Structure 1
């Protein structure tokens, strides 16, 4: 028994005539007769009594009509709910965001989500990049913005690339616009713990080039690191996105690191169990749009937008 057959049977029963039902359903009368006859053969009982003026239900036909109407109503409800879910996603989406990216992207993301996805509730969890990676791996988030190096991008959508810079207090003696990697050892640093992506990314490049860092403080708090540099207690190595507010106020300065330049990718990862979620897919599509906008208007400095490209 097919849904189409149920629909045809209900049409004939409610119309009381094959002729009327054929006109209402836009189906040939012979086709309706064939489907009803197949149903009767399948059930092994007569469903309709054919009369000169139309048709009447048998007792078996009346029972089938009752069940068929319920079944077709439920199918219609399911179709409406699923169609509505696609057109207007609804639900809760939890996103893990490292502190540096959160300072740039969260406000714009929430603003756009409120406008474009009014039925989706966003929950943002901010933290240092190490814990965010661990929590995402443990399945605590639907989506996460992560920092990755060039050899670890599999399965992620690349949002952007950033360069690391030396962050210095505003009242320091004049710096050039750039500083060679080999000269970083001259500056006492306040940097995140070793599990942090910033620390790992920089340390790997430094080690490859036979250089060293003068790490004086290990602090897993972006705000504390920024305060230490602002107060002249240390230097740091960060990306401009993490400190653009302080730079715009003249509270910090940035000096590009060169020979070589140290970069990282900003990527968007999705929890495998949420790949088919309508609401997660909607937010997943919105985030690259937000990142592209921020890069275009200069709110995410020194960023190279690569939205909508899948990492290989």
Structure 2
């Protein structure tokens, strides 16, 4: 068993197929197949099931996948420590960012990494919060921007506090600047799926105040939800940062939700296994600085810094 074989095996599983992995790893597909087959022969068991749509791991393959990720992280850490890169961090860091936050944070963060951490290769994964939390728990991410309520931050670093608003099609009611929570039931909503933190944050407050919502569509795609609102097919409940571009162009309207206001915290979570790597540690310090700059400049519309 070689480190290279483990890297290729993990790459195939995460890509979902040999074809995609070959492109991402810049390795011939035949070479990937050979290395995985050698692993299977060495262990005397099947690690992957080849299907027409891609591959899936067997029980043995899942065990190897978990161990391989740990081994590869330790190899990366050892290389960093032995080559004394603490003052000039280097290596690959994978970060997950929710679609809403990504709209304001992704480009400035990539620019800051390029300028201040030129030897760090940042792998950014954008998605809805539910899958990002699952990937973080599975160890697939080194860092993640997540959403939490005030009482569930734990060891994570709070970055900002946001409030939710009703997002309405242009020219449609309500026409006031604010709306009580108890009146939201009058508007057909398109919202994320139930396992999404945005949905949970709103649902918790709604249930506590005995209110109901008219949820017509459950969609795990921010762009699709915004598109539905723009076309007048639904309303939604989002934060101003998620629809800042569309709101500034008059494509959607935002109405402040009051009695009570619904808020959430934007937090930075770190995988404990990666926390001591120089590249991850450097990014952990850089991200709050980037967020503060965005808030001060008005590019990230928040209630305040957390």
TM over 0.5: yes
Q: Which residue of 2 aligns with 1:156?
A: 156
- Correspondence 1:210 to 2:180: no
Aligned position for 2:219? 219
Report the Cα offset of residue 284 of structure 1. Answer: 0.8
Q: Which residue of 2 aligns with 1:92?
A: 92
**1:174 Cα deviation from its structure 2 partner:** 5.5
Cα root mean square deviation, aligned: 1.3
- Alpha-carbon distance, 1:303 to partner: 3.8
Which deviations, in whole Å up to 9, do the C-alpha atoms of 1:227-270 show, x marking residues without a partner?
A: 00000000000001111010111111101101000000000000
Distance across 1 between alignment mates of 2:92 and 2:110: 13
Match of 1:13 in 2: none
1:189 and 1:302 map into 2 onto residues whose CA distance is: 23
Deviation (angstroms), 1:79: 9.0
Larger Rg: 1
Map residues 180-199 of structure 1 onto 2, 5 A cutoff: 180-199=180-199
Paired residue secondary structure (1:146): strand
CA distance in 1, matches of 2:170, 2:82: 60
- Distance (whole Å) between structure 2 residues aligned to residue 86 and residue 141 of structure 1: 21
TM-score, with structure 2 as normaliser: 0.72
Match of 2:165 in 1: 165
Asked whether the 8 Å contact 1:274–1:280 carries over to 2, the reply is: yes
Deviations 1:67-102 (A, max 9, x none): xxxxxxxxxxx99831xx111100000000000001
Preserved contact between residue 178 and residue 257 of structure 2 (Cα < 8 Å): yes
| Partner secondary structure for residue 272 of structure 1 | coil
**Secondary structure at 2:220 match in 1:** coil
Residues paired across the two proteins, number: 227
Query: What is residue 265 of structure 2 aligned with on the other side?
Result: 265
User: Take 2:214 and 2:126, find their aligned partners in 1: how far apart are those partners?
Assistant: 28
Note if contact 2:167-2:237 (Cα within 8 Å) is conserved in structure 1. Answer: yes
Unaligned runs of 5+ in 1: 1-77, 307-312
Matched, 1:131 2:131: yes
Equivalence map 1:227-306=2 (5 Å):
227-306=227-306
Query: What corresponds to 1:121 in structure 2?
Result: 121
Structure 2 match to 1:81: 83
3-state SS, counterpart of residue 285 of structure 2:
helix
Could you tell me how far apart the structure 2 residues matched to 1:294 and 1:119 are?
Answer: 24
Q: Does structure 2 conserve the Cα–Cα contact (< 8 Å) formed by 1:165 and 1:238?
A: yes
Following superposition, the deviation at residue 173 of structure 1 comes to 4.0
Moved over 6 A (4+): none
Cα drift, residue 196 of structure 1: 0.5
Deviations 1:177-228 (A, max 9, x none): 1100000000000000100011111011000000000000010100000000
Look up the match of 1:102. Answer: 102
User: What CA distance in whole angstroms lies between the structure 2 residues aligned with 1:79 and 1:299?
Assistant: 37
How do 1:13-24 residues align onto structure 2 when only pairs under 5 Å count?
none
Q: How far did 1:111 drift?
A: 0.4
Whether contact under 8 Å (2:160, 2:302) holds in the other structure is no
Kept after mapping to 1: 8 A contact 2:156/2:269: yes
Q: TM-score, normalised to structure 1's length?
A: 0.71
Does the residue aligned with 1:87 lie in a helix, a strand or coil? coil
For 1:123 and 1:205, how far apart are their aligned partners in 2? 35
Offset of 1:119 from its aligned partner? Answer: 0.3
Q: 5+ residue gaps in structure 2?
A: 1-79
Aligned in 2, Cα 1:236/1:174: closer, same or farther, shift over 3 Å? closer
